[in-house]
Amino acid sequence: MTAPFVAVCRLDEIDREGGVTALVEGRAVAVFRTQADDVFALGNYDPFSHASVLARGLLGTLDRDGAVVDFVASPMHKQRFDLRTGRCLEDAGVAVPVYRVTVETGVVSVAGVPEDGEERAA
């Protein structure tokens, strides 16, 4: 059974290369919009700094083995998290939850539970 989606904001309310925080089913979720207009959602909690700050991180891309990886760098200790997988690029053993996102008629909606169905700990 798939989780219901929760409307969080209009797409035009998220700056390109920016993020916003939304409360989705009781969870703080960071929603990001890339320069290419892709939208991603991760748990907002940074497992390294133990603070809810990822929505305020810096977005970027890097080439990893010939593939472009979109990431957010935590504003605290600068660890980078892959926007597609939630995995930390500096420590593959650490990840943040990833949420499915839809954008319909300009409205961004986020699934009520992470893709794997559970929160991850650091």
Burial class (CB in 10 A: 0-12, 13-18, 19+), 43: buried
Domain architecture of the chain: domains with CATH: 5-111 (2.102.10.10)
pTM of the model: 0.91
Mean pLDDT (the chain) is 93
Angle made by CA atoms 46, 28, 21, in degrees to the nearest 5: 90
Q: Which of 98, 115, 78 is nearest to 31 (CA)?
A: 98
3-state class (DSSP) for residue 93: coil
pLDDT tens-place string over residues 90-110 = 999 999 999 999 999 999 999
